[in-house]
Every structure is written in C-alpha cells, then in structure tokens.
Structure 1
C-alpha cells in the first residue's frame, strides 16, 4: 500500500486534490491532501515563507511516521515538494508531478518566468497590502480551466485563496530531484496551457517525457478518474 501525499498548486488548497484522493483510496491506498500554510480559507497570506511550506510537508510525514510515501505535486506545488523530498530520506518512494513546475534549486518561481510575466508578478506582489496575489475569475476562465462550464469556473474561482507572494519570491530549496535515486513521473494535461513554460520543459529537468492525460490545468477536478488511473499506473510500473 502506497501513501500518496498530495500537494496543491498556487491559490489552491487540499480540496483541489480531493476527487483524485478518493479514487486512490478506493484502489486500496492511503491518500492525504494537504493545504499549505496561508492557503486555507480565511488565512492571512502575509509573512508566509517557502521554507514553512516545505516544513509543513516534512512534519506531516514524519509526525505520522509515514513510509512508502509518494509526493504528488500540482503546478507550483513542485517548489515545496522539491525541498521536502530532500529531507524525507528513505520514507520517500517517489514523486509524481502533475502539470507541475520542477524548480531549479536556488531559483525562485518569479525568476523562472519570462521577463514580462516576472515583472507582472513582482508588480502585483509589491502593490498588495498583504504582499499576495489575489485570484480572479478571468484567470480561471482563460488560463486554468478554459474548457469548463461557466458555473464550474465561478465555483473554482470562489474556492481559490490569495497566494502569499513570498512563496513565489523565495528560491527553491533542496537538491535536484534527479539525485535522490527515486522514481519520478510527469503527467501533463493535453489542454494545459497554464505553466510559464511548456510542461515538456519542466519534465526535461527531471529527465522525463510527459505522460499525456486529459484536461486543462484543473484536470484533477474535471477528470479525476483519469488522473487517478495515471497516478496508479506510475506506481504499478515499479
């Protein structure tokens, strides 16, 4: 039995992984959906550092003495997963990236964006009284889930929370995941246009070729059956 610890992307909480997690449990595995500090409903996004998000994942695994853990990262979740993976030692059995950004250690998400997007993100953070980036319906409609019905897009937009700016500004922690000696897999939605670089670019950082799955960046909500099956297939390959 594998224990999947599922890390959401920017603006998202553990709720975003719930439909997939339910299907992993139905297949006989454990699955935990984490909400990282500052990303819960009503949380204050100020003074949230990437190191705290990393520590949150590590503490969750260690405090429960979890073993045979597969970290599953969505989108920005690749950043805290990178730091946590380097601290979990033999508890860690693998990493599955889903439309995720695989960071370069010492480089922040903002730094890893094209120049125009970098300037936009820094401007949004600097102009916010809480140094956060608020979610918008327009972003959900055009970037995250462009194929969904309007009422679904609005629901997801209402569930998103402001993103602590320092999560985007702090440099990635931890060693390159290719040095950890664990299985790595990369799932990529066939209509996912949200990441700042094509998913193939991020996958190559881990020496991977993406495995195509249906859906946009929010396929974990719109196609949970297919995403769960793809995650289980990566586990069965070992």
Structure 2
C-alpha cells in the first residue's frame, strides 16, 4: 500500500488532517502528517521541506497531498525523494522564481476573491472573518473544535524568498479544486491551474478546507488518483 504524506496549509498543523488520516489508515495505508514550523520567523520553504523529509524518513511509495500554501512545499519534496504522485488540494501553484508573497498579485487572487464576494452578496471591504471565508461549510462541531484550538500565527519568512525550482518536477500531478472555495475561487483556480500546470483541475463541492468539511469525499478522490496512477505506471 501507499504512504500518504499530508502537508497542511499556512497557519495550520497536522490536526487539519485528523478526519482524513484515520480513513486512509483504515484502508491499509501509512500516513505521515508533519507539523511545519509555521510560527518560526527563521523558517522558510527550505526548512519546511526539511521537516517533511525528516517525517518521511526512509518510507517509499509516497503520495504527497498538499493543502493551500503547501503547494509551494510539496514540489520541493519531490525534487529530493522519489514520489509516486502529488495531489494539490485547493492549493497555490508556484511559478519558477516566484515567492509565495508575490503569488497573490501575480495570479490576481485578490481581484478574483473580491469579484466572488460581490457576486455572492458579501461586502468585499468587510473585516476578514475566518468563519465566513473558511468555515462556512464545516459541520458545526468541527468548526467549533477548530475555533477552540490555539491560533497559529503564520510567520512571514516563507513568503519572502523565491521558489527555487527551475520548472515543475517530473512527478504525476493532480489538482483538486473546491467549487465553493471563497478564498481561492473556482474560476480563478481553473485559470491558474491551466496556465501554470497545463491541464484542467478536477473538482469537488465544498469550501477551502475539504479535509475538515468532506473527509470521506476527499479520500475517495485521493484513492481514485492513486489507483489510476498505479495502473498507468504499471507498478
């Protein structure tokens, strides 16, 4: 079976995957959920990559799953160890030489998010509310548990330096967007993925945090990707 490496997004930790990891383990897979040093102002993408590599150790048959900002880290892991499959979920897609801090303006994310807010009747100039942006489709108990957890303050360090790869790694890659994502709107993601990866993303219902909102559906997508990749590779 596979080793799933589940990498969280900005200001998040392994708890984000707590509804997904048991479902994958129940199917016989090994699951690695590293905690990135997201609050450390001395830690950038290089340090995030090292943390993931240390968590992987000598495991093989790797399936990397990258949530949101982890789209910058997962390809760096692929450049260091053999990876069978990379799955980007509601993720940022970097371009060579682009820093995570520059990604927002380069891709047009702020304008896309503003347009979506206006079209759906939300005030685009309202103070940021994580409940509105991230928790709108979570079960009430899951949302409450998330809000009760200590807040992780995402450091700025990883946003400053350019993404160091000269091109996307030669690893089978899938992208799964969420149709009701209020942070990275679906139309925006369709354009960015096509422009930067050269293929159309797959889609599922839900907002920006599918591992919390729809863990079973997410696992079904991950397993379908893994099985298809296994068949295509003949391994």
TM-score normalized with structure 1 length: 0.79
Q: Give the secondary-structure state (helix, strand or coil) at the position aligned to 1:114.
A: helix
Residue pairs, 1:120-135, within 5 angstroms: none
Residue 66 of structure 2 corresponds to residue 73 of structure 1: yes
Contact 1:86 1:175 in 2 (8 A): no
Residue deviations 1:115-163 (CA, integer Å, cap 9, x gap): 8988xxxxxxxxxxxxxxxxxx953212212234666445324434100
Q: Does 1:32 align with 2:32?
A: yes
Whether the 8 Å contact between 2:63 and 2:85 is mirrored in structure 1 is yes
**Cα deviation, residue 97, structure 1:** 0.5
In structure 2, the residue matched to 1:166 is 157
1:155-211 per-residue CA deviation (whole Å, 9 max, x = no partner) reads: 32443410010122222133432x41x211111112112138822134222223221
State how far apart, in whole Å, the 1-side matches of 2:226 and 2:63 are: 9
* Equivalence for 1:12: 12
- Aligned-partner Cα distance in 2 for 1:94–1:175: 20
Query: What is the TM-score when the length of structure 2 is the normalising length?
Result: 0.80
Aligned partner of residue 237 in structure 1, secondary structure = helix
- What's the counterpart of residue 185 of structure 1? 174
Distance 1:15 1:149, change over 3 A: closer
Q: In structure 1, what is the Cα distance between the partners aligned to 2:142 and 2:2?
A: 32
Contact kept, 8 Å, 1:189 with 1:214, in 2: the verdict is yes
Distance 1:59 1:148 in 2: 32
Matches within 5 A, 1:175-214: 175-177=166-168, 179-180=169-170, 182-195=171-184, 198-204=188-194, 205-214=196-205
Work out whether residues 109 and 188 of structure 2, in 8 Å CA contact, stay in contact via their aligned partners in 1: no
Return closer, same or farther for 1:163/1:228 CA change in 2, 3 Å cut-off. same
**Unaligned residue ranges in structure 2 (runs of 5+):** 111-126, 230-235
Distance in structure 2 (CA, Å) of the matches to 1:162 and 1:229: 31
CA RMSD between the two structures: 2.4
Equivalent residue, structure 2, for 1:139: 129
